[in-house]
Structure 1
Amino acid sequence: MTAQYDNLATLESWNDSFKVSPHELPGERQMRARRVSGFLRARQAELPVVPAQEAASDAASGIADAGRKTAQIEREWVSAQWGLVPRWVKSEKDAKLRAPKLLVALNETVSTTQAFRDAWLAGQRCVIPMQAFYVEDLRGGKPVPTRIARVDGQPMGVAGVWECWKDPQSGAELLSYAILTINANNHALMRRYGHPGSDRRMPVILGEGTYDAWLSARQDKAREFMRAYPANWLLANPVENKKDKKPKGLFD
């Protein structure tokens, strides 16, 4: 799965696509482990309770309802580190060691894996804006970095989970997040990428109309959002490596 993604290039892109933006552009255009960007989360009042019969009707009507009436929520942008730090981590040193290993969470195990369980069960879900993400094409033997983006060039809103860690020594708080992924073994595009013999994975790319529903969904309905983004809506481009360029005239 990806260990790198591209941030949006302008504040207008955040506003246009997500109706909220950072106060200023994140310093990192290309995101890697422990770099700081951020996510969208819900800032909202207590959600209304829906009777069981109405909830069942909502579930049958489609993912946008997710089993209850979506509350009117206000989105907020939160600056945070990519690479989740669980709340039970005991030291800053341990936090720095764990974060690069916790960039992504598997949909199948996010509710049971120790590192992500608390965030998931607490409903700490988020939307991570990105312009593209990167995978390695290993079909030729040599890894070829490949950029995956939407065909229409629009940003992606990717599902994630977040956590707030407090340093026991200094009391300083650190917000962090991880990308949620699903199995892509049968995905027409993403099944091409990954190590032989291992499961293929892809981020959970949310539909634009489901952001608020994802952020406010009842816990037992949240996994209904874990769906593969259509392959024909995505574009894959190999990334040119400067070291592989042939100097002009040298071998002509």
Structure 2
Amino acid sequence: MCSHYEAPTLEALQETYGVAPGSSYKNDIWPGYSGVFLRAAKETDPHDEAAPAIEALPGRFSLLPSWAKDEKLARSTFNARSETVATKPSFRSAWKNAQHCIIPATAIYEPDWRSGKAVPTRITRHDGKLLSIAGLWECWRSPDGEMVHSYTMLTINADDHPMMQNFHRPGHEKRMVIVLPGPQVSEWLNASADESARYFQQYPAERLTAEPQQPR
């Protein structure tokens, strides 16, 4: 499970994906905070070869389905389990409609309990590049009529992952977000619902770095 991550700068987004949102967003992201996500471009000019195939949008971290009455649901929808995403009411519409997105991150944070206390740990790519986290997006109309985009990170079991098995409370199932290698980013954004499960793979531990942080 991942409830805290570090969003990249606008410059890093532009350098990695060639796009950036038109508005600012927070870099230190928790559920309910405004961040940024990437999706396949909804409107492209077929005659413009330079038109980007993806777009970057501001959105709320924690998915809000169209039927949500208010934003309280966001407290529990920041992650979607790959095993139940197709059937859980909060996510099944976005899944059925293949509303795939990428959540770009400089780092994610997980608690290391091996010492008996939760030690915040910053996890990054070993090569210093951005983490491309697979997710789903939605569009929700708030009670006052505002259209709000939101997104969630997909997770898979990590009980046997050499690094991610070290995080979360003892006795609890170990989970990790789905980090996609560069060539799969465009594939994921354009995949159908039937093709989605093929991307549920653990990111190699040797390509990740974990650094304990001082508790705030």
TM-score computed with the length of structure 1 as normaliser:
0.79
Q: How many pairs does the alignment contain?
A: 210
Whether 2:97 is the aligned partner of 1:122: answer yes
One-letter amino acid of the structure 1 residue matched with residue 60 of structure 2 = Q
Structure 2 Cα separation of the partners of residues 103 and 206 of structure 1: 18
Aligned partner of 1:35 in structure 2 is: 33
Q: Per-residue CA shift, 1:38-90, capped at 9, x if unaligned?
A: 201012579xxxxxxxxxxxxxxxxxxxxxxxxx9710111100011111112
Q: From the superposition, tell whether residues 166 and 25 of structure 1 become closer, same or farther in structure 2 (CA, over 3 Å).
A: closer
Whether 2:135 is the aligned partner of 1:160: answer yes
What is the 5 A alignment of 1:11-26? 11-26=10-25
Q: Secondary structure, in 3 states, of the residue corresponding to 1:178?
A: strand
Q: Which has the larger share of helix?
A: 1
Structure 2 Cα separation of the partners of residues 138 and 157 of structure 1: 26
Compute the displacement of 1:171 (Å): 2.0
On the 8 A contact 1:127/1:158 being kept in 2, the answer is yes
On the 8 A contact 1:44/1:73 being kept in 2, the answer is no
Structure 2 Cα separation of the partners of residues 87 and 175 of structure 1: 10
On the 8 A contact 1:73/1:212 being kept in 2, the answer is no
Compute the displacement of 1:184 (Å): 0.4
- Equivalent in 75, 78, 83 of residue 108 of structure 1: 83
Compute the displacement of 1:24 (Å): 4.6
Q: Secondary structure, in 3 states, of the residue corresponding to 1:40?
A: strand
Aligned partner of 1:249 in structure 2 is: none
- Equivalent in 202, 213, 216 of residue 228 of structure 1: 202
Q: Per-residue CA shift, 1:121-158, capped at 9, x if unaligned?
A: 01111011000000001111111000110111111110
Unaligned runs of 5+ in 2: 45-50
One-letter amino acid of the structure 2 residue matched with residue 130 of structure 1 = A
Unaligned runs of 5+ in 1: 47-71, 243-252
Structure 1 Cα separation of the partners of residues 123 and 111 of structure 2: 10
Aligned partner of 2:159 in structure 1 is: 185
Aligned partner of 1:58 in structure 2 is: none
Q: From the superposition, tell whether residues 165 and 25 of structure 1 become closer, same or farther in structure 2 (CA, over 3 Å).
A: closer
Compute the displacement of 1:25 (Å): 4.0
Aligned partner of 2:48 in structure 1 is: none
Structure 2 Cα separation of the partners of residues 42 and 145 of structure 1: 33
Q: Secondary structure, in 3 states, of the residue corresponding to 1:223?
A: helix
Percent identity, aligned pairs only, is 35
RMSD of Structure 2 on Structure 1 (CA): 1.7
Bigger Rg, structure 1 or 2: 1
What is the 5 A alignment of 1:203-242? 203-241=177-215
Structure 1 Cα separation of the partners of residues 146 and 15 of structure 2: 33
Q: Secondary structure, in 3 states, of the residue corresponding to 1:133?
A: strand
What is the 5 A alignment of 1:164-179? 164-167=139-142, 169-179=143-153
Aligned partner of 1:84 in structure 2 is: 63
Compute the displacement of 1:182 (Å): 0.7
On the 8 A contact 1:125/1:161 being kept in 2, the answer is yes
Structure 2 Cα separation of the partners of residues 177 and 135 of structure 1: 19
On the 8 A contact 1:34/1:100 being kept in 2, the answer is yes
Compute the displacement of 1:22 (Å): 1.9
Q: Secondary structure, in 3 states, of the residue corresponding to 1:213?
A: helix
State the 4+ residue runs in structure 1 displaced beyond 6 angstroms. Answer: none
Structure 2 Cα separation of the partners of residues 112 and 199 of structure 1: 20
